[in-house]
Amino acid sequence: MTAVPSHRSQLVELTADGLRSRLYEALGLYVTAMGYPKGTAEQRAPMWLAHMLREGWRCVAALDAADRLTGICYGYQGSPGQWWHEQVRRGVIEFDGPGPADEWMSDYFELTELHVRPDSQGQGTGEHLLRLLMEGVPNGRVLLSTPEGRTRAWRLYRRVGFVDVLRNYRFAGDPRPFAVLGRTLPM
């Protein structure tokens, strides 16, 4: 991947070292975009660092003219034993049985995070980040989870072909309902 202009942002691939050097800037963007309390960044930092070690991890970012993050997007190959994988698999089995769980939960890329700074939303940055991240992903599917509700994120995911895998699911430790969405690759 190389730098690609996207409206007012430049899209770039970040290595693990590149994201580590901008970790708290990226987490600040995440907290703002998701509306989480301020202490969330410190709680999430170890998880983001651990994700960078997973097979197939890749990350892209949007930078403004002053080299500030306006968007962040990363993911990796999902596999048994990972917290998200186990949570989603259990939910799909409860709702739809083991067949659909086996179909969706094998050979997939987990789109772990996709966030655009609120003052930069609505300019196509999220879709550009998503498409750039998915370029060349060797997996047959991509899966993600997102809070339920009509948001710009929902419109993006529907527009690019994501379908329902699991709806109104409650992950351990978060009282909000989430949807798990998926689509086949390539995009």
The closest of 57, 65, 62 to 16, measured between CA atoms, is 57
**For residues 152 and 119, what is the distance between their CA atoms, to the nearest angstrom?**
13
Does the annotation mark 169 as catalytic?
no
Q: Which two tokens stand for residue 75?
A: 């993911």
User: How many of the other CB atoms lie within 10 Å of CB of 70?
Assistant: 25
- Identify the burial level of 84 via C-beta atoms within 10 angstroms of its C-beta, where 0-12 means exposed, 13-18 middle and 19 or more buried: middle
- The residue type found at 164 is D
Q: Where are the beta strands (DSSP E) in the chain?
A: 4-6, 9-14, 58-63, 69-77, 108-116, 141-147, 163-169, 178-184
Query: Is-contact 114 142, C-beta < 8 A?
Result: no
Six-digit token string for 148: 């339920």
Q: Tell me, what DSSP letter sits at residue 10? A: E
Task: List the catalytic residues.
Answer: 157
